[in-house]
Structure 1
Amino acid sequence: AVKRGDLARVRELVKSDPALLNSRTKRGLSPVLVAIYSGQKVAAANLIAMGADLDIHDAAATGRLDRVKALVERDPSLANAVSPEGFAPMGLAAYLGHEEVVEYLVSKGAEVNFTSAPTGFTALTGAVNSRHTRIVDLLLQHGAEVNHVYEGTLTPLVNAVANGDANLVRVLLDHGADPNLGAYEGKSALDLAMEKGLKEIADALRQRGATKWQPGTAKGAAPIATPDARGFMEKVRKAMNTHDLEGLLTLIDAEYQSEQPAHPDRAFQGREQVRKNWGTIFERVPNLRADIIRIAVDGDTLWTEWWWHGVRVDGTKFDYRGITLFRVWNERVVAGRLYMEPVQERKKEGPYGGPP
């Protein structure tokens, strides 16, 4: 009856047996907590009105600050009491959105990073999961572990991204959340944001260093032999110098991930964007030449020092130097990191550094 929110039946049962108000389930839950967990707030309020005796966990879960205060003032240890389910009062209050209760319990020495043994949940993970941003901020200000990992690979940030909550993501990042830590169903925070089309969140993650550039071997590929690496990069160079756009694209994976750490807003995903970018370059720099200065191999990653140069159709110089890191699998680039920058023109100086 409580789970269904059948108030008439609840009143009838309590009238026939008042002891039911303070009974417990096999899990140790009171009728009030059963009502709260079932989303039956009205039923919970009615049980309290009928005289249910609230313990510290009931009071925290229902947001009854006066009752929480009365219990903790009488016995301060209750601020960290663990329920039969393994939850502390503050964890319940945080999860259910009772900010004043959380604030009070913090002031009374409640352990901010208490972890529920069965689940790994903390007050922070509960607040994040329920999207209570103010409580999240409050907990973080009092030392909550922003990079707590639970349920194997989840983090508060990954959870916030999965929920599409940009404001919550920003709060977590501002408090030091690692954008590259954790995953949901094998997908990082950045993966989730891109998959869901959450551009604002993806941009915020990149600005704090999120990357798809993960250490290890791309898709389980074997390390590349140096002669093979040079041969592969020669194909790339030749396609650039002959303006062979289609030939260049055959060397790029369909799900190619590109990023420029010095310019995070230029990151993109997909081979079609490569087509657009290099199509534009070939059109604007008709005599483009790409020269390889040197190549180094690190596992599946090719480090290449480049000089890209030519003259644009408007007569201005096109002159870039720098490094690219390409991760290669099955003869295709699956991810790239570019550190290419325009070459600064030398200043004309006299023999002692002054004007000539």
Structure 2
Amino acid sequence: MEQTKTLNPDLVREFVIAGHGNLERVKQLLAESPELLNAAYPWKEDDRETAIQAAAQVGSVSVAEFLLAKGAPLDICTAAMLGRKDQVEKFLAQDPAKIHAKGAHGIPLLTHAGFGRNLELVEFLIARGATVGLSPALHNAVSRDDTWIVTWLLENTRPDLAWKNFQGKTALKLAEERQNSEMTKLLREHGARE
């Protein structure tokens, strides 16, 4: 990550916030200030975040792909969010301890994989010992209407169905809001309640 000493911290913050899914703003800010690409904003002393990490933690594929095309580095959490099992395998071959990797704000690898639309990747990570972040991974799969991943997680693991995301919503509430009757039924069949 680049040092942010010479960059205006407010500009870095704005860019990182835009990285959470505002592709047009990311494009505009990067065109005006290319040095923002790998700049990290220090939310806390031990919690720095780049725009690509922001995109990875919220599942913003379009922002992540754009930033990668511009030269941002691919890390294991971003690869997992993008569903790139082959690249996740390469990261783990180089360093097996990365199975416990965390992205921005300490968000676990498995949570990122919940966005990835790749059941083989989720199965692979769990088989390798990635269990932290299981309930948020379920939420992320629900948010993508990924019935196949949700089904596998419910049948093969034990996510906390009462767990609530940062908006105070359970996976069931999220499925109901998305008007996904198949997902709602599936979650209820596995014990989800409001």
Do both proteins adopt the same fold according to a TM-score greater than 0.5, normalized to the shorter chain? yes
Q: Is residue 2:120 matched to residue 1:70?
A: no
User: 2:75 maps to which residue?
Assistant: 55
**Partner in structure 2 of residue 159 of structure 1:** 174
More strand by share: 1
Query: Secondary structure in 1 aligned to 2:37?
Result: helix
In 1, the alpha carbon distance for the partners of 2:144 and 2:188 equals 18
Once the two structures are superposed, residues 138-159 of structure 1 have per-residue CA deviations (whole angstroms, 9 ceiling, x without a partner) of 2123213263333698543343
Match of 1:86 in 2: 106
Q: Does residue 29 of structure 1 match 2:49?
A: yes
Match for residue 150 of structure 2? 136
How many residue pairs get aligned? The number is 169
Paired residues of 1:146 and 1:156 also in contact (CA < 8 A): no
Q: Is the 8 A contact 2:92 2:99 kept in 1?
A: yes
For 1:101-116, list aligned pairs within 5 A: 101-111=121-131, 114-115=132-133
- In the alignment, which of 185, 190, 193 is matched to residue 170 of structure 1? 185
Shift of 1:130: 3.5
Aligned equivalents of 2:143 and 2:61: distance in 1? 19
For structure 1, the residue ranges without an aligned partner over 5 or more in a row are 183-356
Structure 1 residues 99 and 24: alpha-carbon distance in aligned structure 2, compared to 1, 3 A threshold: farther
For residues 79-132 of structure 1, the C-alpha deviation after alignment (integer angstroms, 9 at most, x for no partner) is 222334131111112135343432331232210xx349xxxx521122223322
TM-score (norm 2): 0.68
SS in 1 for 2:163: coil
C-alpha separation between the residues in 1 aligned to 2:112 and 2:73?
18
User: 1:223-302 residue pairs with structure 2 within 5 A?
Assistant: none
Tell me the amino acid that sits aligned with residue 50 of structure 1.
Answer: K
Q: SS in structure 2 opposite 1:52?
A: coil
Decide which of 134, 139, 143 is 1:125's aligned counterpart: 139
Larger radius of gyration, structure 1 or 2? 1
AA partner of residue 169 (structure 1): T
Please identify which structure carries the higher helix content: 2
Q: Is the 8 A contact 1:33 1:58 kept in 2?
A: yes
CA distance in 1, matches of 2:55, 2:117: 16
Gap runs ≥5 in structure 2? 1-14
Report matched runs for 1:201-240 at 5 Å.
none
Quote the residue 2:9 is aligned against. Answer: none
Query: Partners in 2 of 1:35 and 1:91 — Cα distance?
Result: 13
CA RMSD of aligned residues (A): 3.2
SS at match of 1:26: strand
Deviation at 1:168, TM superposition (A): 0.6
Paired residue type of 2:148: R
How far apart are residue 35 of structure 1 and its match?
Answer: 4.1
Give, in angstroms, the shift of residue 43 of structure 1: 4.0
- 1:13 equivalent in structure 2: 33
Q: Normalised by the size of structure 1, how large is the TM-score?
A: 0.40
